[in-house]
Amino acid sequence: MAGLWLFSAWLLAGIAGCFFFPHWTTIGFLLYTLFRIYRTQLPFLQIRCLVFGLFFACFMGWTGRPVKEDLNQIEILPDTIQVAGDQLQFTARGQKLFPVYYQLRTEAEQQWWQKQTAVLTLRLTGEFSLPRGRRNLEGFDYRNYQRLLGQPQQFSAETIEVQTQPSQRLSIHQWRARLLRHIREKFPAAVARWTNGLLFGAKDATFEPILTRSKGLGIMHLFSLSGMHISILFGCLRYLLYRSGVTIERSAWLLSGIALLYLGLAGATISILRAVSQFVARELSRRFQWDWQGLDCWSIAVIVGLLVRPGMLLTAAGQLSYGFSFLLAVEKSGSLLKQSLRLNLLLLPVLSYHFYEWQPLSILWTALLTPVFSLLLPLLLVHLCVPLPFFSAFLNQLCQFLERGLDWGQQLSFSWVMGRLSYPLTVGLLLLGIWCLLKPGRFKWLLLCWGTIFVLLQFPQDQIAFIDVGQGASTFIRTQGKNILVDTGGRVSFQTEGWRQRPLKANAENTLLPYLKSQAVTHLDAVFITHRDTDHMGDLLTLAETISIRQVFYPEGAQNEPKFQQVLLALRKQGIAVQGLLASQQASKSWLQVLHPFTAGTGANEDSLVVKLRVLDRNLLITGDLGQTGELELVKKYGKNLQADLLAAGHHGSRTSSHPQFLATVAPRLAVISCGLNNRFGHPHPEVLNTMAAEKIPVWRTDQHGMVRLRETITGVVLERSQD
């Protein structure tokens, strides 16, 4: 009977959900699945589900058990080796898989690792630790992500010793590593990027700019190995087999075997695992004439995926890959455009929850580029087999033309930043979408819900958020319909040898920008830069390239410093108003006061811009990196008018700030210290913590507590943090 494999897939998904995320939604889904299985009144189905469920529950318990690794006999997966400057990263295999990080000592050592393509047995010394958890509210939780992938711990290596010569046994990881290296070294640069990225899922540093552009266009799915790639590649192979006279029965076996081999060569990511599993299930059904429909093949792919990566359906990749293919199996609407619109609308809750934005033109770009990829993929495959010089030159020009086209398309695209929907609302919209899908003619209800959400986004709640940007400072304030940012954070770079330098993204791309997008921030009315140090304004230009800024304020005199002068010039070219401030000036309305500097300086610490804001019926005082001398000048000039409920402690908790008299005058109910985890400066200084303890001032620190946020809710104002 067709469609019955769906019950087994649901059951295993429910068990995995309860194991990794015990919540009323996952428990409810599991109970609903058990009820539906009981209501089928089909004994063979119930027995099959019982056996599958018991086996999978035992399997989950066994794979989740803690193990003690023998660090004297650890194998390395060569296709996972990544060398970035003096940092080495790879996946090691002991009793379980785990990521290893190591700081390279010499350039010769770096070059040796860059050439490795063999399976090596290593002896490691170092220690296991948990990956870094979520540092900002609504942010990406890398620790939980690794747990879902079955790698809950990471290893920081102090020494690495090769125990044996490279293994001569067959290894798919070794094949893949050698193939990727061969392509990088022998093919033209653009062809190598696209071949490794599109055919074999190798998203290295050279392919990163292409991925960034594709993300801006909303077509990441075209660059992630998926069902479309499998359909195109194996459609070509099927045609060749057919023209060669191979029977349908034999071609099913050949294609299934090639697909499984390709799964390993492509890195066995979640999306390619789903696509290959579904393809093989369909081929076997055709070969043995089983009555498997589209949902049955999809269900088999779910079961296989859960056995390989039990937590995959709780990741963004798993939800989008399996969710999109499920909707394709169920959706039966007519035109391709109508189908694309409906599918995008159904998956909007997932996109909002994980990525906070949606590109409306992604439907158009997908329609335009799908035929291009249908041509490009076979060409790359043929070139891989027959790399003739004239063919290489032609294909290189084609790939470069596509890259320029992506640049052009990104300039035309725009996104709807919808923010991160709450988890209950996300689940509710998904259920409503499925109900509308199964009940034709009811999509108006889903459109009505999204219309309501769009209206509500125009009336956001006020908040104060001390964002964890590492060793730096950035505070987001939303009040009276205005979006205000005080400092942007920024990564302080230190002089190192050329080979040690790592290609690093702007710090804001992983901290500040994701949070602003999660709060549906599309523009900033004002950005205040307290002074010109990199850890306070280093990401200002990165921010301006992504989010519209109306005005930038800074301490008067800072514009005379050459580096900061260049930043202001770049802002003016973008049409952003810039203005230096002194204590006698008002930058905005009455809810904001500029208290410092009194005279024009150079934008150094002692010239820090000090602002006092009235937000959520509370006074907030931000002093930048102002030293104790400046703090005492504030006390002398303003006296008790300095009193504030919240204090952003000066200079990240350095003992050059936070004078006892200043703290006693401000008398905050909470002090927040913005500093990086395990920072090299030793911030906050014990002397400062002791002073605050003596003044009975509670202290929350971003290095220990992550983001600190005060926000308005239906029940009142709540104070929260991302780390407990």
Q: Give a three-class secondary structure readout of 430-478.
A: HHHHHHHHHCCCCHHHHHHHHHHHHHHCCCCCCEEEECCCCCCCCEEEE
Q: How many helices (H) and strands (E) does the chain have?
A: 27, 24
Neighbour tally for 566: CB within 10 Å: 11
Pairing of strands 646-648, 618-622: parallel
Confidence class of residue 586 from pLDDT cuts 50, 70 and 90? low
Tell me, rounded to whole angstroms, the distance of Cα 7 from its chain centroid: 32
Residue % of the chain over a pLDDT of 70: 97
Given a cut of 60, is residue 587 above it in pLDDT? no
Q: Is the dihedral of CA 191, 197, 203, 207 positive or negative?
A: positive
Closest residue by Cα to residue 668 from 629, 724, 623: 623
What CATH number was assigned to the domain covering residues 463-493+504-721? Answer: 3.60.15.10
CA 325/CA 318 separation, integer angstroms: 11
What pLDDT does 374 receive? Answer: 85
Q: What is the mean pLDDT of the chain?
A: 89
CA 215/CA 442 separation, integer angstroms: 31
Confidence class of residue 590 from pLDDT cuts 50, 70 and 90? low
Show Cβ contacts of residue 53 under 8 Å, excluding neighbours closer than 6 positions: 11, 12, 15
Show Cβ contacts of residue 156 under 8 Å, excluding neighbours closer than 6 positions: 101, 102, 126, 127, 129
548 close to 513: Cβ distance less than 8 angstroms: no
Given a cut of 60, is residue 300 above it in pLDDT? yes
Residue 465, beta-bridge partner list: 476, 709
CA 166/CA 208 separation, integer angstroms: 30
Given a cut of 90, is residue 530 above it in pLDDT? yes
pTM: 0.91
State which amino acid sits at residue 98. Answer: F
646 close to 620: Cβ distance less than 8 angstroms: yes
CA 105/CA 109 separation, integer angstroms: 7
Pairing of strands 526-528, 551-555: parallel
What pLDDT does 536 receive? Answer: 95
Q: pLDDT of 324-366, one tens digit each?
A: 888 888 876 666 667 777 777 888 899 899 999 888 888 888 8
What pLDDT does 624 receive? Answer: 95
Out of 84-88, 422-426, 549-553, the most confident range is 549-553
What CATH number was assigned to the domain covering residues 74-169? Answer: 2.40.50
CA 359/CA 366 separation, integer angstroms: 11
CA 520/CA 526 separation, integer angstroms: 16
CA 313/CA 295 separation, integer angstroms: 17
The three-class DSSP label of residue 709 is strand
Q: Is the dihedral of CA 451, 452, 453, 459 positive or negative?
A: positive
In eight-state DSSP terms, residue 557 is T
Show Cβ contacts of residue 613 under 8 Å, excluding neighbours closer than 6 positions: 477, 479, 484, 591, 592, 593, 619, 620, 622
State which amino acid sits at residue 95. Answer: Q
- Stretch 119-132: mean pLDDT, rounded? 92
For 573-614, give the DSSP string. HTT-EEEEE-TT--SSSTTEEEEE-SS---SSGGG--EEEEE
Domain locations along the chain: 5-62, 74-169, 221-314, 463-493+504-721
Pairing of strands 699-701, 670-673: parallel
Structure tokens at 623: 């002093």
Three-state SS for 221-237 is: HHHCCCHHHHHHHHHHH
In eight-state DSSP terms, residue 196 is I
457 close to 419: Cβ distance less than 8 angstroms: yes
The three-class DSSP label of residue 705 is helix
Q: pLDDT of 164-175, one tens digit each?
A: 666 556 689 999
- DSSP H or E run through 615: strand 610-615
CA 171/CA 506 separation, integer angstroms: 37
Residue 580, beta-bridge partner list: 554
- Stretch 98-107: mean pLDDT, rounded? 94
Q: pLDDT of 361-397, one tens digit each?
A: 888 888 888 888 888 988 998 999 999 999 999 999 9
In eight-state DSSP terms, residue 511 is T
